[in-house]
């Protein structure tokens, strides 16, 4: 008699290929994906179709898609353990998104704060895709039966909508979709702030280079940026987001980079020397970034290998996605006989 291992739950996440990533993206998202590979059946996607909701330069987009995939791998996503793929290579995403759009209400989509935000910032291009963006995200998640979706605080509302769509569909047509739970990423690591203006989240679109630390900045640039980070004149090293946002940010980054707790950080920096805090934070970040920069360079120098990994990932993704899509089509009464895989197979 063979003993079957309990089937692992599915964890899925994704990021948009909209340019160079900062350490905020690493500590807030990608780095937290890596340990999930031990416990979950993991899927990581580069959501290039989402990126189209804002006008992209084709050459840049092409480059950014591959770079983001290489960053996933360089940061420790293992293609032997995880499915890693590019969204547009799996046509089922667009197909399911259409179907799900008929299960999302205008009123719900209008309430999405990210839509309201982006509509403000891109007034000249408030396209329908920007509006239905969360429906495509729901398709990304529901196609793979994801149980958990690691996301930042800012995506919670989209995940709530995904759940509502899944529940609504299941109530009408039977239990086709797994209803996913958000996995809000741990201990404030996503709260990496702008080094020059810690009132703001660190963003790749910040104007000043000194505001943000990019994943691919070299070690001396990282050091320089941390040395110039804004602090205060209180001369105390404590976690206090209100009065000492700059110092708190450095502590948060140090914790994220070293894996140490807040208590350990306070103990370590009880000398209250800002100069040391800055340099040690830079050094801790460089310890994390060094191997990532190296593996990234290797991957980018070997495009054949990257292609092979993404090709395999897309094949694996397509098979699973097709299975779900066929189930959806069947319960809705759409013909599926012409499709290669049958859900009943
Ligand atoms: N909307 C997410 C973001 O901006 C990206 C995303 C798209 C995503 N599809 C997803 C995240 C599916 C998790 C799961 O960060």
CB of 10 closer than 6 angstroms to any ligand 1 atom: no
- The alpha carbon torsion through 28, 34, 36, 37 (nearest 10 deg) reads 160
pLDDT (tens digit, 9 = 90+) per residue, 71-130? 999 999 999 999 999 999 999 999 999 999 999 999 999 999 999 999 998 899 999 999
Q: Is 237 in the pocket of ligand 1 (CB under 6 A)?
A: no
Residue 50 Cβ < 6 Å to ligand 1: yes
pLDDT (tens digit, 9 = 90+) per residue, 143-162?
A: 999 999 999 888 999 999 99
Examine residue 4 and state whether it is found in any structural domain, yes or no: no
Kindly state whether residues 167 and 214 are assigned to the same domain. no
Tell me, what's the pLDDT at 345?
A: 42
Judge if 147 and 278 occupy the same domain: no
Q: CA 61, CA 284: separation in Å to the nearest integer?
A: 31
Same domain, 215 and 320: no
Say if ligand 1 is within 6 A of residue 14 CB. Answer: yes
Q: Is the pLDDT of residue 172 over 50?
A: yes
Q: Which helix (H) or strand (E) holds 158?
A: helix 156-173
Residue 154 lies in a domain: yes
Q: Among residues 7, 9, 63, 118, which one is catalytic?
A: 118
Report the CATH number at residue 85.
3.40.50.620
The reported pLDDT for the residue numbered 10 is 98
Q: Which atom of ligand 1 is closest in space to residue 152's alpha carbon? A: 15
Q: Are residues 215 and 251 in the same domain?
A: yes
Give the distance (Å) from ligand 1 centre to CA of residue 146: 13
What is the three-class DSSP state of 332? helix
Q: What is the mean pLDDT of the chain?
A: 94
Which residue in 9, 204, 260, 312 is the catalytic one? 204
pLDDT at 3 over 70: no
- Of all protein residues, whose CA lies closest to atom 11 belonging to ligand 1? 14
- Claim to verify: residue 85 and residue 141 sit in the same structural domain: yes
Q: Which domain holds residue 252?
A: 193-298
Structural domain count of the chain: 2
Whether 201 is catalytic: yes
What is the pLDDT at residue 65?
97
CA 244/CA 232 separation, integer angstroms: 7
Q: What percent of the chain has pLDDT over 70?
A: 95
Residues 26-43 have a mean pLDDT of 94
Assess whether pLDDT exceeds 50 at residue 343.
no
Specify the pTM.
0.92
* Whether residue 54 is found in the same domain as residue 134: yes
Please report the atom of ligand 1 found closest to the CA of residue 16.
5
Range name among 112-126, 278-292, 311-325 with the lowest pLDDT average: 112-126
Q: What is the CATH number of the domain that holds 283?
A: 1.10.240.10
CA distance 6 to 71: 31
* CB distance 36 to 129 below 8 Å: no
Round to whole Å and give the CA distance between 52 and 63.
14
Residue nearest to atom 13 of ligand 1 (CA): 13
Q: What is the pLDDT of residues 188-227, one digit of tens each?
A: 555 899 999 999 989 888 899 999 999 999 999 999 999 9
């Amino acid at each position: 008699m063979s003993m079957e291992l309990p089937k692992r739950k599915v964890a899925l996440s994704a990021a948009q290929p909209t340019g160079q990533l900062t350490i905020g993206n690493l500590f807030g998202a990608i780095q937290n994906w890596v340990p999930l590979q031990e416990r979950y059946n993991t899927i990581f996607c580069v959501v290039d179709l989402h990126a189209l909701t804002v006008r992209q330069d084709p050459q840049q987009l092409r480059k950014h898609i591959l770079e983001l995939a290489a960053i996933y791998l360089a940061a420790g996503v293992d293609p032997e353990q995880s499915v890693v793929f590019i969204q547009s290579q799996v046509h089922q995403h667009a197909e399911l998104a259409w179907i799900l759009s008929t299960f999302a209400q205008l009123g719900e989509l209008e309430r999405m704060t990210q839509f309201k935000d982006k509509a403000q910032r891109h007034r000249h291009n408030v396209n329908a895709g920007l509006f239905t963006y969360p429906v495509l995200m729901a398709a990304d998640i529901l196609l793979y039966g994801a149980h958990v979706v690691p996301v930042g605080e800012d995506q919670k509302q989209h995940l709530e909508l995904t759940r509502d769509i899944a529940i609504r569909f299941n109530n009408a047509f039977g239990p086709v979709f797994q209803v996913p739970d958000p996995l809000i990423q741990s201990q404030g690591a996503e709260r990496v702030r702008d080094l020059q203006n810690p009132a703001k989240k660190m963003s790749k679109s910040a104007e000043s280079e000194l505001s943000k630390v990019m994943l691919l900045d070299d070690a001396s640039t990282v050091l320089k940026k941390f040395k110039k980070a804004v602090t205060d004149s209180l001369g105390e090293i404590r976690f206090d987001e209100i009065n000492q946002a700059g110092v708190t940010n450095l502590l948060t980054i140090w914790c994220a980079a070293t894996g140490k707790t807040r208590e350990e950080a306070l103990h370590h920096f009880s000398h209250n020397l800002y100069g040391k805090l800055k340099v040690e934070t830079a050094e801790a970040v460089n310890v994390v970034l060094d191997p990532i920069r190296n593996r990234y360079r290797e991957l980018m120098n070997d495009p054949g290998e990257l292609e092979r990994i993404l090709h395999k990932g897309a094949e694996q993704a397509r098979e699973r996605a097709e299975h779900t899509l066929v189930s959806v089509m069947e319960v809705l009464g759409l013909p599926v006989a012409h499709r290669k895989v049958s859900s009943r197979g």
